[in-house]
Structure 1
Amino acid sequence: MDDVMLRNVQLIQLEIAKEVKRICEQNNISYFMDGGTLLGAVRHKGFIPWDDDLDFGFTRDNYEKFIATAKKNLSSEFFLQTWDSDREYGYAFAKIRKKGTIYQERIAQDSDANCGIFIDLFPYDNLPNDKNKRRKLITKLTFLKMLLKTKVNYKPWMENETINWKRWMIYLPVRFVSQFVSKNRIQKHYMKIVKVANTEKSELIYPQVAEKLGVWAMKKEYFSKYISLKFEDTFFSAPVGYKEFLTDGYGDYMTPPPIEKRKNIHGIIKIDLGSK
């Protein structure tokens, strides 16, 4: 993807982000810029120049309120993609996609899921205070996420142009098990497990995109309130503890990575910006 195409994709993602902001502000739903989007806001006042996506996060209660509200209020230009609205979709978090566009990821090229240009919406749930319970929770959820991807014909071992044989071997038993369990059963089991610590007075929350113990586990105090930070031409919500959040996630976040690591990560193999 050349720089001009990437910028055009980013501008469509920004358009989607403004729609999320509109819905949240009109319906008193708290949200925040997440991951590389938050980093971009702080370090670049917008997109990281080589970043190919945009992320928002929500605590679980706000996430569920947003999904329910967006089903009724989302502009007709966009599609709210969840594992319920798109039965071929294989993630435990939502995306909003721009209709009439294509943004095909390599790992999902054999899936029939909607593949328009998107932004990610990540629900954050509590992590158990007990480390052993925490480890068991992440292990179970990671396996269920792998089952979901396999069930809808995603191929995570194809993130690059060649097969990652180590990952292919890891998924081999998962592919076998997936033949004997329905997608509905996987989803129900996942939702039962993921909320198990949400009634605890936990010190940590984490997003459903995380698949390793400790990765993106954040202190709840970072989200005690929200502030506004500029991102491109718009101000979006950010956690008040955004500096600590970024330090936990990236370390020295104000120093860009070396040039060889400045690349997009989604393995996009086909792009169509649609009609303007």
Structure 2
Amino acid sequence: MEKEVQEYLDRVHDSDFAMLSEVDRICKKHGIQYFLHGGTFLGAVRHQDFIPWDDDVDILFLRKDYEKFLEVFESEADKRFKLLRFEKYPQFFDFITKIADQDLTYEGTSFGAEDFYENRYSHPTLDLFVFDIEAGHHKWQLTRMKFLYALAMGHRPYIDYSKFDGAMKTVAKVLAGIGRVIPFKVIARQYIKLQTLGGLAEVHGEKKTLFISNEQPDPRYWGLDFGPEHLIDGPDTGIIRGKEFPIPKLHDKWLTKTYGNFMALPPEDKRVPMHVNIIK
């Protein structure tokens, strides 16, 4: 890895660790359960640290803990960490609430359009994913959520239609065009209703299937679900920078379902930051 890139990642990982440690402190103070998720979870198991080329943090809450965390975060957290609730803004980035470390600012990101988003995402971020209970007719629930995602894309500065094939490209253009005339906050409210369609019951003692309800419609993650056995009776622990953080139980099973052979490193040309290009 080039020296300049490594120096950048070192600074980003310092920021990531500061955000994660602050979240951990607040959650412990208020009895809120969370779990490492995504690349952060994988890093804690495979590297016992952040993945060397990763540049953000992912965590996961059950819905009730997510709502409690939103209630207390802004009054508790260091003011350098800004809470970005997706439903509070007129532009669409994704359906993920984030925390941004305002002490570090990027000159450019991989997605561009910093001005469009008023530079909210020009910082290292920690993503808050949510576990909800699947509703009956879950495939129909997911279809409606994907429909709303397509409408929401009308509130992006531009759309990469090369990701769509054949008729789906036309459908995406039509739905984004319709979505453009619907205020994003209206779309966001409907999306949240669909996330919670399965109810807010406790997981303990119930055979409920959980799904991560605010993932992007990526083939690897969209619709991915898990049984409650991963979360019941408290978490296991993973290590980042010598500090223990909570991870789901049966982590081998979870990570295999998500990544396949999760202990294998990706090809060298894929070991690059996903979100940011240059730092100042």
Alpha-carbon contact 1:45-1:231 (below 8 Å) kept: yes
Alpha-carbon deviation of 1:155?
Answer: 3.2
Question: Structure 1 253/165 Cα, relative in aligned 2: closer, same or farther at 3 Å?
Answer: closer
State the one-letter code of the partner of 1:141: M
Structure 2 residue 203 is the aligned partner of structure 1 residue 202:
no
Question: Residue by residue, what CA displacement relative to the aligned partner does 1:238-268 show, whole Å, maximum 9, x if unpaired?
Answer: 11222211111111111212223323333x2
Correspondences of 1:168-207 after superposition (within 5 Å): 169=170, 171-199=172-200, 201-207=207-213
Alpha-carbon contact 1:10-1:52 (below 8 Å) kept: yes
Alpha-carbon contact 1:81-1:89 (below 8 Å) kept: no
Indicate the residue corresponding to 2:125 in structure 1.
118
Alpha-carbon deviation of 1:207?
Answer: 4.0
Indicate the residue corresponding to 1:81 in structure 2.
84
- C-alpha distance in 2 between matches for 1:78 and 1:10: 15
Alpha-carbon deviation of 1:198?
Answer: 2.8
Q: 1:11 aligns with which of 10, 14, 19?
A: 14
Indicate the residue corresponding to 1:223 in structure 2.
231
Correspondences of 1:248-267 after superposition (within 5 Å): 248-266=257-275
Alpha-carbon deviation of 1:195?
Answer: 0.5
Correspondences of 1:33-44 after superposition (within 5 Å): 33-44=36-47
Per the alignment, in what secondary structure is the counterpart of residue 51 of structure 2?
coil
Question: Residue by residue, what CA displacement relative to the aligned partner does 1:77-132 show, whole Å, maximum 9, x if unpaired?
Answer: 1100012444435322211001143244343515224122211111111223x5xx
Q: 2:143 aligns with which of 134, 139, 144?
A: 139
Q: Percent identity at matched positions?
A: 25
TM-score by length of 2: 0.84
Per the alignment, in what secondary structure is the counterpart of residue 18 of structure 1?
helix
Structure 2 residue 130 is the aligned partner of structure 1 residue 127:
no
Structure 2 residue 107 is the aligned partner of structure 1 residue 107:
no
- C-alpha distance in 2 between matches for 1:154 and 1:42: 37
- Unmatched tracts of structure 1, length 5 or more: none
Alpha-carbon contact 2:36-2:247 (below 8 Å) kept: yes
Question: Residue by residue, what CA displacement relative to the aligned partner does 1:195-222 show, whole Å, maximum 9, x if unpaired?
Answer: 0013575223324114258653222211
Question: Residue by residue, what CA displacement relative to the aligned partner does 1:210-235 show, whole Å, maximum 9, x if unpaired?
Answer: 42586532222111121222111321
Question: Structure 1 270/170 Cα, relative in aligned 2: closer, same or farther at 3 Å?
Answer: farther
Q: 2:31 aligns with which of 19, 24, 28?
A: 28
Indicate the residue corresponding to 1:232 in structure 2.
241
- C-alpha distance in 1 between matches for 2:50 and 2:266: 15
- C-alpha distance in 1 between matches for 2:74 and 2:64: 16
Once structures 1 and 2 are overlaid, which stretch shifts more, 99-108 or 28-37? 99-108
Structure 2 residue 98 is the aligned partner of structure 1 residue 61:
no
Once structures 1 and 2 are overlaid, which stretch shifts more, 118-127 or 178-187? 178-187
Structure 2 residue 243 is the aligned partner of structure 1 residue 243:
no
- C-alpha distance in 2 between matches for 1:165 and 1:229: 37
- C-alpha distance in 2 between matches for 1:97 and 1:172: 31
Per the alignment, in what secondary structure is the counterpart of residue 2 of structure 1?
helix
Alpha-carbon contact 2:26-2:76 (below 8 Å) kept: yes
State the one-letter code of the partner of 2:267: P
State the one-letter code of the partner of 1:204: L
Report the aligned-residue RMSD.
Answer: 2.5
Indicate the residue corresponding to 2:204 in structure 1.
none
Question: Residue by residue, what CA displacement relative to the aligned partner does 1:118-157 show, whole Å, maximum 9, x if unpaired?
Answer: 11111111223x5xx2211112112212333432x24351
State the one-letter code of the partner of 1:179: R
State the one-letter code of the partner of 1:202: K
TM-score by length of 1: 0.85
Question: Structure 1 256/33 Cα, relative in aligned 2: closer, same or farther at 3 Å?
Answer: same
Alpha-carbon contact 1:57-1:207 (below 8 Å) kept: no
State the one-letter code of the partner of 2:31: N
Question: Structure 1 195/148 Cα, relative in aligned 2: closer, same or farther at 3 Å?
Answer: same
